Amino acid sequence: MSVTYDYIIVGAGSAGCALASRLTEDPSNSVLLLEFGGTDAGPFIQMPAALSYPMNMSRYDWGYQSEPEPHLNGRRLATPRGKVIGGSSSINGMVYVRGHAKDFDTWEEMGAHGWGYRNVLPYFQRQETSHGGQAGWRGTSGPLHVQRGTKWNPLYAAFKKAGEEAGYAVTPDYNGERQEGFADMEMTVHKGKRWSAANAYLKPALKRPNLTLIKGALVERVLFEERRATGVRYEASGRTQDVLAGKEVILAASSINSPKLLLQSGIGSAKDLGALGIEVIADRPGVGANLQDHLELYIQQACSKPITLYKHWNPISKAFIGLQWLLQGKGLGASNHFEACAFIRSKAGIEYPDIQYHFLPFAVRYDGQAAAEGHGFQAHVGPMRSRSRGRIKLTSPDPKAAPSILFNYMSQDEDWADFRTAIRLTREIFGQSAFDEYRGKEIQPGVDVQSDEDLNAFISEHVESAYHPCGTCRMGDASDPMAVVDPECRVIGVDGLRVADSSIFPQITNGNLNGPSIMVGEKAADHILEKPPLAASNQEPWIHPDWQSSQR
C-alpha cells in the first residue's frame, strides 16, 4: 500500500525548505519532503569561515561537472550542488543578494506575469529579518536572518573608498532602494552560524506533526495517471517505494536535478526522450534548455602589509579560530569574509549594473589553494548577464546516472569584451590612492597581461563558475513552446505538478542566487495554496538618472 500525502516536495534546498515551512503552516496539510542528502550538522557547514570545505566534499555535494566547454579550451568546470539538508544554501558562500529590480521586470516582459519587481518585493520582505538594512525596503520579521560583517580588516574600507575615488557612489543598502554602487556585503549568518534555508525554515517546521522529512531518498521519477502527477517513486536504504500526492507534487531539486527529474518522468523533448526509450508524457523541448550561470575571475593583488587572512592560514591559527567559534560563536570563524562588494555598469547606455564584485582580504581560491605570494587581496569580478546559453540532457534512463551539463560558456563575442572591461575597471579601482599603502604587485593576471589577446588567454584559462546555474525549467506564458512552467509554477501540459527553484528563472538575476531562490519558494507556496498574492509594492527603485550618457 502506498502512503498518501497532500503535497510531496522533492529537494530540501533553498526553495524546498521555504515551501515545506509555508505549506505546513496550515495543520490540515500533510507534506512529505524528500531529500537525497543527509544531515547538515557539524562545523564544516555551520561555521561560516569554513565555507570552502563543504562544496569540496562528496558527502555534501552532488559532484557534477560540465562537459568540456568548447570556448574555454575544453576545460570541464565544477558545478557543485548541495546534497544535504538545506541544499546549496548549506554549502554556498552565504552572500545575500536579492537581484536588481529590473531583473524581475525583465522576467515579466519574458512572460512571467505577476513576477515583476512590485510583485516579488513583498516576498523578499516576508522572507527576511534584515539587520541594518534600509528601512521600508527590507523585511524585519522573516525567518531568514541577513547581516553585515564586522569589517575587521581595513582593506574593506579601502575597497569602498577606492570606488568613491574612481567616481562611483557608495550605496547604504544594495538590497534596498539602490543596488548600484560600492557597499557592505550582506550574508546569511545569524548568531555566528550559517543561516541556511534549513536553519531558517526547515528545522522550525519539522516541529509540526504534518511535515515528514525522509533523508537519503533518491527520487527516480514522477508517477502519472494519464497526464496527472499522482506521486513519486524513490529509493531509500536499498528499497524502492511509491508514495502518492493527494494534491500536488512539487520539484525543488535544483536547476540541474529538477529538469533531470522531469526528463526521467517523460517531460521534455519527445525526440530526446524517445532515443532513450522513455515514454513521453508531455513534449516540452524547453526542459533542460536555457541554462545560464555567472562566471568570475579573481583579480589578485599582493598586499604590502601583513594584515590579510594569510596570517591565519596555518594549523594553529585555524584551530584557535575554530575553538573561539565553537565556544563563543564569534571571531573570524563567524564571517564568510566577503564583507565589501560593488555593483557597477560596464559602460554608458547600460540601464542597471552588469558587473558584480566580491572583495576578499586574501588571495586564495575556493578550493583552498593559497596564493604562493603570501599576503594579498582579491576581487571576484564577472559580468552579470551573459548571452550564452547551455543545456542539461540525460545520458541514460538510469536515475543514478549523472546528467550531461553543457553551459556553452563564453560562446558570444560580447562575453569576451565584457570580461576584458571588467578586468580593466578592476585594475583602475585597485590603482586608486585608497590602496596606496597596501598595494604590492599584481599577482594575477599580472602586469604584462594587457592586450585583448593576452586578456582573452587569461580569461579562457582562469575563469571559474560562480556556481549560479539557473533557467532550465523556464517560466513563461503557457502558450510559449519553450516555457516549462506557467507563472504559477505549474508544469505546462500536465496537471498536479509544479517546479519551484532557480530552474524557473527566465533570466539570471544580478548577483548570488540563494535569495531569489528562497523568494521563489515563498511565492510559489501562495500559488499552491491558492492564496491571493501579497499586495504589490509601489516602491520605486533607483536607476542612475544619466545612465544613457554616463558609466558612473
Give the annotated binding-site residues for FAD: 84, 92-95, 219
Question: Considering just the CA atoms, what is the radius of gyration of the chain in Å?
Answer: 23
SS3 253: coil
CB atoms within 10 A of CB 207: 8
Task: Report H helices in 224-305.
Answer: 254-264, 270-275
Tell me if 524 sits within 8 A of 19, measured CB to CB: yes
CB atoms within 10 A of CB 63: 14
Measure the CA angle with vertex 214, ends 226 and 49; round to 5°. Answer: 125
Max Cα-Cα span within the chain: 72
Print the SS3 string covering 401-442: CCCEEECCCCCCHHHHHHHHHHHHHHHHHHCCHHHCCCEEEE
What length is written for the chain? 552
Which residues lie closer than 8 Å to 41 by C-beta, 6 or more apart?
none
Binding site, by residue number, is: 84, 92-95, 219
Of 100, 375, 380, 468, the active-site residue reads 468
Dihedral (C-alpha) 360, 361, 367, 371: value to the nearest 10 degrees?
Answer: 130
Q: Which residue has the cell 558612473?
A: 552
Tell me if 189 sits within 8 A of 209, measured CB to CB: no
Which residue type occupies 400? K
SS3 160: helix
Task: State yes or no: is 468 an active-site residue.
Answer: yes
- Separation of alpha carbons 233 and 525, rounded Å: 23
- Separation of alpha carbons 483 and 471, rounded Å: 10
Tell me if 469 sits within 8 A of 291, measured CB to CB: yes
Peptide bond into 259 cis (omega under 30): no
Which residues lie closer than 8 Å to 332 by C-beta, 6 or more apart?
49, 152, 309, 312, 321, 324
Question: What is the DSSP pairing of strand 144-148 with strand 186-187?
Answer: antiparallel
Residues with active-site annotation: 468
